[in-house]
Amino acid sequence: MIVAMQEKATEEQIQTVVERMVEIGFNVHRTTGAVQTILAGVGTPAQFDHKDFELLPGVAEAVRISSPYKLAGHSFRPEGTIVRFPNGVEVGGNEVVVMAGPCSVESRDQIFAAATHVKAAGAKFLRGGAFKPRSSPYSFQGMGLEGLKLLREVGDATGLLVITEVMDISQIGLMLPYIDCFQVGARNMQNFNLLRELGTVRKPVLLKRGIAATIEELLLSAEYILSGGNYDVILCERGIRTYETYTRNTMDVSAIPVVKHLSHLPIVGDPSHGTGRRDMVSAMARATIAAGADGLLIEVHPNPEKAVSDGAQSLFPAQFAKLMDELRIIAPAVGRTIAQPVAAAVAV
């Protein structure tokens, strides 16, 4: 931390700041310039808020240099984190990994049809919510345990990994036998009790950025999971709430290079929630991969017009297949690989 004193700061005020910095664990290096005194605090005190220093008499500005997240920060693992899954799929490696499927699991036929299509186009994960966080309590809330069982059955039948949203601590144990990756939704990014509990499980977690969360807050939320000992965390940019109303959210593609700079954790993009509009999903998916993301989470429905949730932003299977073809051109252009289509899709 750097503390710049005001020009008129007295020696007594400077000493008070120095004492306070030493008290919390900093080694203080003082530079007395012609106009002002600068105090550089070296070290890593466990906890401090640099803003507290700006309230001390005589202080002009306090700037935090080290990041508040230690385990999620880039320097913790400069080589980057690769999250490994049972069938050899890796997120954060050289291959761009696509997770696709409907917003919600609705029926056996629907999830089988969705899985067959996304598998054939080259997806590695089947997504689908069994527990749904809906803005209205009267909207479809998900199939629950029945939905989890369907996801596992169809995942196994098609050779797809399964990712689905966990909304509450009480669902973790129930979900563990059926899933390959927990998804923490935007609304739960700051459900700290849930994050702490996910730190104790040994299964990967995809953590979505909150609707109004800064990138620093996203990384601090990841820190909750990492600090519990679960290092298999994948971040997800899914759009943030801005003043723009043309799209459902504003897909912050710049979050991809920012996170790559600040953290060692893999990051994927969700252009479905990022735009809310089927006609814009592919453009933002392409941009996300071009920006260096490690993968995508995309809503695909066999019949989007009949979807019980997020139909407007769900791709038709043919649109998804076309997008995957386009990504197969973009990924190599940015030094990445991506799965080829699967010729013989599983018959169900």
Question: Which residue, 103 or 289, has its beta carbon nearer to Mn ion?
Answer: 103
**DSSP class of 316:** P
Question: Which residue, 103 or 126, has its beta carbon nearer to Mn ion?
Answer: 103
- 255 vs 198: CA distance, rounded Å: 24
Minimal distance, residue 172 CB to Mn ion, in Å: 21
Minimal distance, residue 269 CB to Mn ion, in Å: 14
Give me the DSSP letters along 197-240.
HHTTSSS-EEEEPPTT--HHHHHHHHHHHHHTT---EEEEE--B
Contact between 114 and Mn ion per CB under 5 A: no
Residue 284 CB partners (closer than 8 Å, separation 6+): 251, 253, 269, 271, 274, 275
The answer to whether residues 207 and 234 touch, using CB atoms and an 8 Å cutoff, is yes
The residue count of the chain comes to 348
The entry of Mn ion, ligand PEP, none that residue 301 binds, CB within 5 to 8 Å by partner kind: none
Sign of CA dihedral 219, 179, 143, 284: positive
**Per the structure block, which two tokens stand in for 312?**
């407007």
Q: What is each CA distance from 117 to 148, 152, 231, 279, 321, in whole angstroms?
A: 19, 17, 32, 19, 8
Instruction: Assign 37 to helix, strand or coil.
Output: strand
Question: Which residue, 1 or 315, has its beta carbon nearer to ligand PEP?
Answer: 315
The entry of Mn ion, ligand PEP, none that residue 294 binds, CB within 5 to 8 Å by partner kind: none
Contact between 1 and Mn ion per CB under 5 A: no
Minimal distance, residue 140 CB to ligand PEP, in Å: 12
Q: Which of 310, 323, 327, 336 binds Mn ion (CB under 5 A)?
A: 310
Minimal distance, residue 165 CB to Mn ion, in Å: 9
Question: Which residue, 165 or 232, has its beta carbon nearer to Mn ion?
Answer: 165
State the residue number with the nearest CB to ligand PEP: 185
The answer to whether residues 127 and 99 touch, using CB atoms and an 8 Å cutoff, is yes
Question: Which residue, 59 or 184, has its beta carbon nearer to ligand PEP?
Answer: 184
Question: Which residue, 124 or 238, has its beta carbon nearer to ligand PEP?
Answer: 238
Site string (14-33) toward Mn ion, x via CB under 5 A: --------------------
Show the beta-strand stretches assigned E in the chain: 2-5, 27-32, 37-42, 59-63, 83-84, 90-91, 95-101, 125-127, 161-165, 181-184, 205-208, 233-237, 267-269, 295-299, 337-338
Matching residue, tokens 């739960």: 188
Matching residue, tokens 């598998």: 119
CA angle 107, 183, 319 (to 5 degrees): 60
Minimal distance, residue 36 CB to ligand PEP, in Å: 46
Instruction: Assign 341 to helix, strand or coil.
Output: coil
From the list 96-104, 133-141, 219-227, 319-327, the region that binds Mn ion by CB under 5 A is: 96-104
Minimal distance, residue 279 CB to Mn ion, in Å: 17
The entry of Mn ion, ligand PEP, none that residue 185 binds, CB within 5 to 8 Å by partner kind: ligand PEP
Q: Please give the order of strands across the beta sheet that includes 37-42.
A: 27-32, 37-42, 2-5, 59-63
Question: Which residue, 237 or 294, has its beta carbon nearer to ligand PEP?
Answer: 237
Point out which residues bind ligand PEP (CB under 6 A). 103, 129, 133, 185-187, 208, 238, 273
Minimal distance, residue 182 CB to ligand PEP, in Å: 12
The entry of ligand PEP, Mn ion, none that residue 152 binds, CB within 5 to 8 Å by partner kind: none
Q: Which of 3, 9, 96, 103 binds Mn ion (CB under 5 A)?
A: 103
Q: Which residues bind Mn ion (CB under 5 A)?
A: 103, 310
